[in-house]
Structures are given as structure tokens and as C-alpha cells.
């Protein structure tokens, strides 16, 4: 047990987050996403929705404030302007935790897969809602 670590952040995820540097990307995806196909390490958070997972992860991971759009989400196939409720909820969590407005980039499905292959790690959640797939770019901690 460690103090002040969110209970959803197990040793494997804690290690993966600690190894990330400024500008590295973390993919947090729904249960339909082919997580292992990305070819990068996968940490499973089965039974946890993506909003709760992102909220827990952001207790440790700062979001980049150098990038104009440090968060990306998978766009709805055939309707890239659509904003599913899960996307709105994750955006709200990011802005609440960061205490600032954070722009979210929409990425076409297959482009999202390509970007996820460059992620440091994929966090596979139990999210059942479609399009619950996000890329978070790690920022720096300013003391």
C-alpha cells in the first residue's frame, strides 16, 4: 500500500506512468478497442469505465500545456462532428482536473489506431460505450 495513490492505479499502471516523459502519449480505450493489436504494453482496468479511469490517471499524470490539443478522441465514423456523451464527460474531467480549458482533437478511427501504436502504454478499460477511446499527452509538473 502507498499513501495518496488512487486505488485504481495498481503497480503496473503506476510503473508505466512513471516511465513516461513529457510529450509521451497514453491511450485510454473502451472495451471494444483492439488494445493488444497496438503492439505496445497494455494495462487492463476491467470493470472500470473510461471516465473513472481517466479521472484516476489524472491524479498523477499532468496534461501537456505546450501542445494546442493535448487530448485526442476517436471520431464517430461517418459523423466526425458528433460528440458522444462519453467524449464530453472525459473532456469535462480533464478540464476539471487541469483547472483550465483543454482542447480535444478528433481523430479518424484508423488514424487513431496508428497514433495508439506510438503510445507508451494502452489502458484497456471496461467502458461499454462506443467511441470511449482517448489519447492523453503527458505534460510537465511545475513546482
User: If residue 94 lies in a helix (H) or strand (E), which one and from where to where?
Assistant: helix 85-98
For 82, which DSSP code?
-
Say whether 39 sits in a helix, a strand or coil: coil
Could you give the CA distance from residue 53 to residue 141 in angstroms, rounded to a whole number? 20
- Residue 23 to residues 26, 77, 88, 123, 140, Cα–Cα distance (Å): 10, 27, 23, 17, 9
Is-catalytic flag, 6? Answer: no
First to last CA, the chain: 26
Could you give the CA distance from residue 109 to residue 42 in angstroms, rounded to a whole number? 19
Could you give the CA distance from residue 93 to residue 120 in angstroms, rounded to a whole number? 22
Catalytic one of 19, 22, 117, 118: 22
Active site (catalytic) residues? 22
Amino acid at each position: 500500500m502507498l499513501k495518496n495513490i488512487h486505488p485504481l492505479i495498481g503497480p503496473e499502471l503506476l510503473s508505466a506512468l512513471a516511465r513516461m516523459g513529457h510529450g509521451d502519449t497514453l491511450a485510454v480505450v473502451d472495451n471494444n478497442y483492439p488494445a493488444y493489436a497496438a503492439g505496445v504494453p497494455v494495462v487492463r482496468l476491467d470493470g472500470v469505465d473510461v471516465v473513472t479511469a481517466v479521472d484516476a490517471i489524472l491524479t498523477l499524470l499532468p496534461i501537456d500545456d505546450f501542445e494546442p490539443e493535448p487530448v485526442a478522441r476517436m471520431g464517430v465514423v461517418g459523423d466526425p462532428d458528433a460528440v458522444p456523451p462519453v467524449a464530453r464527460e472525459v473532456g469535462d474531467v480533464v478540464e476539471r482536473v487541469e483547472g483550465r480549458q483543454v482542447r480535444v482533437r478528433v481523430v479518424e478511427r484508423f488514424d487513431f489506431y496508428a497514433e495508439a501504436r506510438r503510445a507508451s502504454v494502452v489502458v484497456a478499460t471496461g467502458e461499454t460505450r462506443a467511441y470511449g477511446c482517448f489519447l492523453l499527452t503527458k505534460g510537465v509538473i511545475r513546482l
